Structure 1
């Protein structure tokens, strides 16, 4: 699975693929996850600047932490999902959110892409210096729980 997918940093070169993916999510009536997919993409340049600011700016607004966003794409450029990696945690993220938030578009689910996405995201987290990663999911999100377990994680209902 991992051989035919990779993480890329958000770029205008994938504008149409990004819009196709987010449109599918919205058409399905689902909440876009991770949260950065909910940014206004009508001006992609502005959206990409905001993602860059969140990654690099050392003076973010109260409650925000630096984070890196990546898109999961196949070799044929199909965009399958996205991941957001928070560089550190604040009190709120310790409860809900954790270090990594990820999502796979509806038509690509149950095909192993979430497991591949999280595996690649964990590599990126290590590069960022995050050795112990917290990932949270709702208790009824069986798919996400399996994805976490498939990547060597353990579930803690506390």
Structure 2
């Protein structure tokens, strides 16, 4: 059964496979989290996954200027990386408009199996432990799947700003 875990080098091979899936599935991936990971960390001949994980874990307590602390957890089953969820500890102006408290993605080969809904449900107690009573979770208005995930987790539409839908999701 899948569960949220801290990022771990034990899943390095599966995590790397997932990055390749994201790249193959979306030519615009260079402008996303996946593109950032590949550009910043992935270098042949290095233990780049361990370096990436150390950076992710460091963001929990010390975010660079202009960013907020974030807890990233991996959704995994055994040795298989299925996705990730990021819980931002607080909002800055940009996140209050567009990004929200929680962002998530599921690797393409694991989509349409309920992982996003289960992963968000599993992350809500983590958000509550950070003092977040109602998490702001956003998605593009055209992303029907993500809207359903948020609504299945109790999300109530607060408003729409441009093409971004902004939902409040109770964490307890």
TM superposition score normalised by structure 1: 0.88
Question: Alignment partner of 1:56: what SS?
Answer: coil
Partner in structure 2 of residue 82 of structure 1: 84
Give distance in 2, aligned partners of 1:152 and 1:34. Answer: 27
Give distance in 2, aligned partners of 1:34 and 1:119. Answer: 24
User: What aligned pairs does 1:107-146 form with structure 2 within 5 A after superposition?
Assistant: 107-146=109-148
Partner in structure 1 of residue 168 of structure 2: none
Query: Which of 35, 42, 50 is matched with 1:45 structurally?
Result: 50
Question: Alignment partner of 2:103: what SS?
Answer: strand
Query: Which of 91, 95, 98 is matched with 1:96 structurally?
Result: 98
Query: Which of 62, 67, 83 is matched with 1:64 structurally?
Result: 67
Please state how far the C-alpha of 1:62 moved relative to its aligned partner. Answer: 2.6
CA RMSD in angstroms, aligned pairs only: 2.0
Higher relative CO (Cα under 8 Å, sequence separation at least 6) belongs to 1
User: 1:34–1:83: 8 Å Cα contact kept in structure 2?
Assistant: no
In structure 1, list runs of 5 or more residues that go unmatched: none
Please state how far the C-alpha of 1:55 moved relative to its aligned partner. Answer: 0.8
Partner in structure 1 of residue 149 of structure 2: 147
Deviations 1:3-61 (A, max 9, x none): x110111111111111111111112225389837732243122212211221112xx33
More off after superposition, 32-41 vs 80-89: 32-41
Q: Report the count of equivalent residues.
A: 152
In structure 2, list runs of 5 or more residues that go unmatched: 161-172
User: 1:87–1:99: 8 Å Cα contact kept in structure 2?
Assistant: yes
Task: Flag the structure with higher strand content.
Answer: 2
Give distance in 2, aligned partners of 1:33 and 1:56. Answer: 25
Cα gap change, 1:22 to 1:67, in 2 (>3 Å): same
Are 2:9 and 1:12 equivalent residues in the alignment? Answer: yes
